[in-house]
Structure 1
Amino acid sequence: MWKVSTGEGVEVAVVDTGVSDTPSLQGRVTTEGIPQDLGYKATEDYDGHGTSMAELIAGTGADSSLKGLAPDAKIVPYRIAMDGFDNKSERAKAPDLAAVIRAIADSDVDIINMSFTTSIDHSAVRDAIDYAHSKGKLMFAGTGNDAETKNFIGYPAAYPYVIGIAASDESGAVGKFSEHGNYVDLAAPGLDVPTWCDETLRSYCVGQGTSMATAIASASAALVWSAHPDWTANQVLASLIDTAGRDWAKDDPSTYLGYGLIRPRKVLEDSDYNPGAADTDPLARENAAGVVDEEGNPATPATSAAPSTSPSTEPSGKDTAGGQTSAAAEPDASDDTTLWVALGAAAAVLVIGGGAVAVVRSRRRA
């Protein structure tokens, strides 16, 4: 794919725990255009999660570090307060999520990566998402990692115009933890993926979560948009939906994996690919229907004035306080080759090879 596109010319906003300066991200992170009141410590990661997502998207692989799927894309970091951020003083200084999304909407950013989830529907965030959509932004969010317990409706993935990303393994099966519902739109590798172990950024660990899947989906879109800079967000998304790997009818999406496993190679290998009309929303049916429960009835989410979000990452080893999870796991003394294998095991089949299809699916109501 990199013979056709490396993501050059595309900016991806990583709304997360901050993005630190690592060897892998040197020359890839820019704060240009971030409003001063929303950029507080944007380049200081208090958890390691945001930096991991940025590297999965645009890491260069320098100094035996992680190389991302779109290594020439640019990362624009925004640091918000997620669950587990215990410093009350710092939390108070973190920018408001709705304000962040609106600022990104008014910037040159093309893609918004939101590797976090909450069960609360925030009206201000919903309105900001609508505004970003009106500005032609492509938005990805993880569906969450609580499928084995409560499987709550995960926002912002469940908002209209946000592409909800599920996590799959190298065989194409959905991760047992990956939350499901009619707001799942696509799937990407999210198991056995390397991320930073913690905020010290000293070593990589093998983790899993819809966070990683979301980052890989954003990077996939960056590859396509870089190759076709004249396309709209609708056309980029339509191409990814059309070429997604699935063994079911395109008009009968899966509750677990949506329209299938993301495969940007299938778009990039066809120089004459037709993405359809620029103004046609490929998720118009889902966006009009809204979120429904397993019985097909409109869901009634909890509401709150103040966002509280969790990284959509399930660690291999430990849980953090309150049952929320971070990107932490047991340290792994991996060299560059091992990291490539760890990423390649998932990405080569689903993203690059494009040959796998889902093992588990369920017809969804929408």
Structure 2
Amino acid sequence: MRAAGALVGALVAMATVTATGLAPSAAAADAQARQWYLGPMQAERMWKTGTGKGVKVAVIDSGVNADTPALKGQVLIDEVPDAVRYRATDDYTGNGTTMAELIAGTGAGGGLKGLAPGARIVPYRIELDELRAGDEERRKTPDLAEAITAAADTDAKIINISVSWEWFTGNDQAAIDYAASKGKLLIASVGNGVREERAIAFPARNPYVLGVTSMDSSGTVSKNAADGDHVDLAAPGEKIPHWCDANFRSYCVGEPDTRPAAALVSAAAALIWSVHPDWSVNQVTRSLIDTASRSWPKDTPSRYAGYGLIRPRKVLADADYDPGPADVDPLVKENGGNLLAESASTPSPTPADDAEQSSAEDSGTVSSAAPPRNHYHPLWLALSAAATVLGLALTGTALVRLRRAR
């Protein structure tokens, strides 16, 4: 265990080097090296089983630049419905491109290596507050409801929405319900900096959407991440490389952010679906929940970490894993009540399965006292390193203000 601990120490030390930005000449070479989570998640081992091949992920964001080295050949612009294709590959913030690379980047040119490099991206550019444009440009740019509804009518299995807003419309709600009825897996970030504000955090708060929170390289849930009954899963989200701006000159190292965490859960789902193409959305969701790292009962999810930290390798490595019934939503009880709604006050203790918990106790690294509510034990890192994520409503309401991505 000492050797494993030393290895993890070195891994975390490398992963936690800070930077406010990278010089353009060094950006590409450094960006992939800073993806600290690929080793602990045993990405190379997972890719021997599945890469996400055959799975399409709709990325609804600020647009996706299909010409970055890591995304060449990965973006299916021709599969975006004509009605919402307007400037879909013109990313006005860089966020949509970053999310696409984290999901399906090839790593070419030293760019980001996606967790599901065999998957393909279908880009959707929607109107966010960051879109600095006139009325005509905003009129041509699709809104969230239009993009979700369009994506629901395609063969994309996963819809990634790495944004969180305080306001939403009845049309947004109806679009999500429609996509869910079409068997799509919707994944969204739970929001940054909203814990004190107690904002709505939509669309993650919709019961058909998997809400994802962020953790750092030590296994701690990000302090600025939202908490509440809309948090379903956790994934790495701190010090993740991202494009600094829409000019795509260099990568920067990100601050704590639930947006890349959502992208990694989408990638994890793509890995699972590529190996089990016949599974339903309920079965893929159940597999993410069942195999997540946690030490609390599965039927009492934490308000800080939901069902725990994603570990898609557990699904890919278990040929006998039973995904359960295809037509039963794992997030809803038989009486229709949401499991999360009944456990909002549940603390977030150390997540580890029985074997990991036992090993930790043997090494003296787990205290009998309850850990801080938002803390994950770095054992997840240690074990991994040692071994080497309608249409429109009739009552739609107007937005109170433009949405701002969080």
Q: Normalising by structure 2, report the TM-score.
A: 0.72
Match of 2:174, SS state, is helix
Percent of aligned positions that are identical: 53
Deviations, residues 145-202 of structure 1 (Å, cap 9, x unaligned): 0245313120000012100001111222110011011011101101010110111111
- Asked whether 1:187 is paired with 2:280, we answer no
**Distance across 2 between alignment mates of 1:235 and 1:282:** 8
**Distance across 2 between alignment mates of 1:293 and 1:305:** 31
- Asked whether 1:3 is paired with 2:97, we answer no
Give 2:182's aligned amino acid: K
1:91 aligned partner: 138
2:186 aligned partner: 139
- Asked whether 1:277 is paired with 2:325, we answer yes
1:113 aligned partner: 160
2:109 aligned partner: 63
**Distance across 1 between alignment mates of 2:133 and 2:60:** 19
1:217-296 aligned at under 5 Å gives the runs 217-285=265-333, 288-289=337-338
The two structures, once aligned, show a CA RMSD in angstroms of 2.0
Match of 2:77, SS state, is coil
Uncovered stretches (5+) of structure 2, i.e. residues with no partner: 1-45, 346-395
Uncovered stretches (5+) of structure 1, i.e. residues with no partner: 297-302, 313-366
Structure with more of its chain in strand, by fraction = 1
Corresponding residue to 2:118 among 51, 56, 72: 72
Contact 1:181 1:294 in 2 (8 A): no
Deviations, residues 221-277 of structure 1 (Å, cap 9, x unaligned): 000000100000100010000000112111110001100001100100112211000
Contact 1:116 1:309 in 2 (8 A): no
**Distance across 2 between alignment mates of 1:308 and 1:269:** 44
1:319 aligned partner: none
Match of 1:163, SS state, is strand
The alignment of Structure 1 onto Structure 2 pairs a total of residues equal to 306
**Distance across 1 between alignment mates of 2:315 and 2:79:** 31
Distance change (3 Å), C-alpha of 1:27 and 1:212 = same
Q: What is the CA-CA distance between 1:35 and the residue it aligns to?
A: 2.0
**Distance across 2 between alignment mates of 1:47 and 1:85:** 8
Q: Higher Cα Rg: structure 1 or 2? A: 2
Corresponding residue to 2:403 among 296, 299, 309: 309
Distance change (3 Å), C-alpha of 1:290 and 1:269 = closer
Distance change (3 Å), C-alpha of 1:205 and 1:293 = farther
Distance change (3 Å), C-alpha of 1:60 and 1:160 = same
Match of 2:79, SS state, is coil
Contact 2:300 2:340 in 1 (8 A): no
Distance change (3 Å), C-alpha of 1:295 and 1:60 = closer
1:137-176 aligned at under 5 Å gives the runs 137-176=184-223
Match of 1:119, SS state, is coil
